[in-house]
Amino acid sequence: MEQFLFFFIALVAVASAVYFVFAKNPLYAILSLIVTFFSIAALYVLLNAQFLGIVQIIVYAGAIMVLFLYVLMMLNLNAKDESKKHNLLKFTGIISAGIIFVGMIGAYKGVAMTNATTDVDSQIGLTKNLGKLLFNEYVLPFELASILILAGIVGSVLIGKKDL
């Protein structure tokens, strides 16, 4: 039953992500992205990573999507204002997606199908273990990511300044 639920939620996530890419109305695209974020959070919970599931809902489905909706409402997009999209960009996207798909099929072909073991550690997704791993083994990438985020914030403030 749990495996069926996992595949169903994964199908919902993939379907809503594909709808996001091909949606004509930007509001419907953002709503489908919210469904995608909630589906990914449900997948995290099913994989015993409750902390990541809650952070996914709070940060992405909450804050980021409110920001997207705010920007969409402020832009007031109309169909007459939107210029025609070039077919070259669509063709490039389809070709790159096809290359990624072929690479994923090739990687999947090399993976042997194994049965899942029943010995599952119930402590694997807890916040205590995640914090130990993050601040012991992955402290350098964590700090580099924070410096990168700080550089992005400073860059956006400089770009947004009216007079330099």
Decide if pLDDT at 52 tops 80: yes
- Whether residue 53 has pLDDT greater than 80: yes
> CATH for 1-78?
1.20.120.1200
Q: Residue ranges per domain, the chain?
A: 1-78, 123-164
The pLDDT tens digits for 88-143 are 777 887 888 888 888 888 877 776 665 655 665 666 667 777 788 888 888 888 88
Torsion of CA 45, 48, 51, 52, to 10 degrees: -60
Task: Note the pLDDT tens digit of each residue in 62-101.
Answer: 787 777 777 777 776 665 555 565 677 778 878 888 888 8
Nearby residues of 54 by Cβ (< 8 Å), 6 or more positions away? 41
Amino acid making up residue 104: M
| Contact between residue 42 and residue 7 where contact means Cβ atoms under 8 Å apart | no
Q: Give pTM, 2 decimals.
A: 0.56
The answer to whether residues 53 and 41 touch, using CB atoms and an 8 Å cutoff, is: yes
The pLDDT of residue 103: 84
- Rounded CA-CA distance 58/64 in Å is 9
Q: Which of 24-33, 47-56, 112-121 has the lowest mean pLDDT?
A: 112-121
| Average pLDDT for 50-56 | 85
DSSP string, 108-151: HHTSPP-PPPS---TTTT-HHHHHHHHHHTSHHHHHHHHHHHHH
